[in-house]
Amino acid sequence: MAKLYFYYSTMNAGKSTALLQASYNYGERGMRSLVYTAKLDDRAGGKVASRIGIESEARHFDAGSDLYGDVAAEHARAPVACVLVDESQFLTPAQVRELSRVVDELNVPVLCYGLRTDFRGALFPGSAQLLAWADNLVELKTICHCGRKATMVVRVGADGQVEREGAQVEIGGNERYISLCRRHFVRAVRDGRLDN
């Protein structure tokens, strides 16, 4: 029986690596998977790419994409064994419900990988919907500089100062975002700088 999975974490926990490994495993067994990533994140040329150097071609979604329609059409053309979605925090709530239909009506498992919260500690709309609708929730872990589990992320400017305001969505990597435990996140936001 297919399920909707949400693998969530902060930055640098290996979400894309886990997605790519899952896709590889399906392919190795002769099973077809569809890999999606957010159109707005073009850092890897539209591919899903991991910091450890592996990558895969991907289909792209934006707020207007009909994910159920796309998967259903592909599944009718040739069986789809699994749908994998990177950067799933950028899904709309309606798209999360579409992916639920993929699971429930097409009996195709959907594995979503994404951030839970933004640099202010607020849920992304797609992540909030996934937390509510997913059959299985899996936290992927990474660590803060202090060694505790990192659950939050701060955004830093070119000057190294912690940003407290700005658009929720701004694409970036290690040069812009730093994963922290809640204690160091609170201090960084309060003081406007990173605390070692």
Beta bridge partners of 138: 7
Torsion of the alpha carbons at 88, 185, 155 and 114, rounded to the nearest 10 = -10
Kindly give, in sequence order, each residue whose CB lies less than 8 Å from that of residue 69, ignoring residues fewer than 6 positions away.
Answer: none
Catalytic site includes residue 170: no
Query: 133: which 2 tokens?
Result: 């609708």
Active-site pick, 74, 87, 165, 175: 87
Of 180, 131, 190, nearest in space to 151 by CA: 180
CA 163 – CA 191 distance, rounded (Å): 10
CA 79 – CA 33 distance, rounded (Å): 9
Q: Which residues are catalytic?
A: 87
